[in-house]
Structure 1
Amino acid sequence: MEQQAPKVKSADRVLDIFELFTGEKDSYNLTEISKNLNMPSSSTYLILQNMLSRGYLETDRSGKQFRIGYKLFAIRSGYMRNASLTGEFNYIAEKIINNLNETVSLSIRTGNQLLYIGEKVSTHSLRFNPSLGVTLPLHATASGKILLADLSAEELRALYPTDELEKVTGKTISSFSDLLKELDKVRKQEFGYNMGETVDGVHCVAGAVKDMDDRAVASISISIPVVRITGEVWGNVHDWIRRSCEELSNKVYRQN
């Protein structure tokens, strides 16, 4: 016997209201919604008011006609932007791999953790190989420092309420005061560095992907085992980070 999916009546009703707007009309009043969906007017009213307060619906000047609100468009826009972000990153990262053949990563901040959402891995047998979906402490990564450097002192303290920070290796920054000093350097240099703070023997350089308001929303990084680093390679890495961050920022966030 086929198992029936569990249902939540209130959730079903919200979805029914959304689906009603896929029809011919772009706005409905309370009576029309209640009648079309065979829902009691009283509960329909409460649901509509909740959706209205959350931005999922909006009304005309009379306050009686409901239509789809800004929140759904914002969600769709965010989804499309993230899809565009990773898609454009893959194109840029391919160029970096062809030139440097060193691992390139795209990451974002989630709380006090760095989340990897894109990668192109070096073909060298000795390489840094982050996995998509893996998280690491922000303060222990080059990209994490880039994203932290964009935050205010109050936001930083909220992320790190104690003075002692988690150590990943013996080289990881382990105090809040040292982190603040490091972030001052990041702001001046516009690069984030990880010198064996996540993986011993691997160095990393990162830069910021910025939105229209010049806020860091993501970071591109290049990771190299120390044994392959030369002055020329290190210079090329910085050039690629600068160019790729600018290109990704322009393509995804600054098109209009």
Structure 2
Amino acid sequence: MSENEPQEAEARAKLVPALERGVRILDTVARARGYLSLSDLARELDIAKSSAHTLCNTLVKLGLLIKRPDQTFLLGPHVMRWSNAFQQQSDLATEFAALWDRETQLPGATITLTVLEGNEVIYIAARNSDLSHPLFEFRAGMRLPAAFTATGKAFLSGMSDFEVRRLYPDGLPEPRTPSSVRTVEDLLQELQEIRERGYSCDDQQVAEGLVCFGAPVLDSRNRTMAGVAVSLLAEWLTPEQQENVIAEVKRIAQQLSQRMGAEIEQVAGPDRT
């Protein structure tokens, strides 16, 4: 036994067996040069045919596999959605940070990039600045209520009031600060203002003393696929600085949207003369 085998065995022991086998089936189908039958998969993975049958039926119902008329399998459309999302989000995160530092007058600022899941935003990229906010640390993978965050409000502003209400059948989450929006009706009023002015704002709704400005990133169908935001300390945010930050966030969001295939007009860059 090699010195790595105990660690590998321990890692395998922590896996959920059915999930692990399901992933192995997807991997096997993806690698195959032809179409595999149930018997092929059971033999390839060294599992009972009855287990392979149950797993494959589940994967078919979830859209992860397609069962062909000859009873063989190929990858389903749901896998492509994950692939596209991964590529877009990975590219988008890299593009966001590079664009911000290269083309704005606030290099090194606290910037975040999120996607929406249900009524929460998930941070897929976050870069913190000691200068801009020692009050709160954003982390890739963290979740926050969409109703309180600048990026979440950017997402929600692209929805109809009916869609927003459907996300909050039992009302909004518990407030994080005294400034957090309290009711769905108040949130809807905020969203209407965001639609009119073209940017979102979390004015100390996530953390006291921290103000965030956000804007949506659109995909090729002009639907919101991500939200971008920059965060600053409220105590040193001047009206002039606020105006500049808002303009930069909107412009970077539009540049990213264009690169994702959205059909929108490009905002002019900052005057560096």
Q: Summarize the alignment of residues 1-256 of structure 1 with structure 2, pairs less than 5 Å apart.
A: 2=6, 5-6=12-13, 10-11=18-19, 13-21=21-29, 25-37=33-45, 41=49, 43-60=51-68, 62-95=69-102, 99=106, 102-122=109-129, 124=131, 129-132=136-139, 133-163=141-171, 166-252=174-260, 254=262
Distance in 1 of aligned mates of 2:133 and 2:20? 52
* Structure 1 residues 12 and 136: CA distance shift in structure 2, 3 A: closer
Distance in 1 of aligned mates of 2:70 and 2:144? 48
* Structure 1 residues 158 and 227: CA distance shift in structure 2, 3 A: same
| Contact 2:209/2:233 (8 A) holds in 1 | yes
Distance in 2 of aligned mates of 1:178 and 1:12? 45
Q: How many residue pairs are counted as aligned between the two chains?
A: 254
What letter matches 1:48 in structure 2? C
| Contact 2:177/2:207 (8 A) holds in 1 | yes
CA-to-aligned-CA distance 1:168-225 (integer Å, 9 cap, x gap): 2222222222111111111111211222333333332211111222222221112222
Distance in 2 of aligned mates of 1:104 and 1:24? 42
Runs of 5+ unmatched residues, structure 1: none
Deviation of 1:59 (Å):
4.0
Runs of 5+ unmatched residues, structure 2: 264-273
Query: After the TM superposition, which of the residue ranges 7-16 and 221-230 deviates more from structure 2?
Result: 7-16
Distance in 2 of aligned mates of 1:9 and 1:70? 24
* Structure 1 residues 72 and 159: CA distance shift in structure 2, 3 A: closer
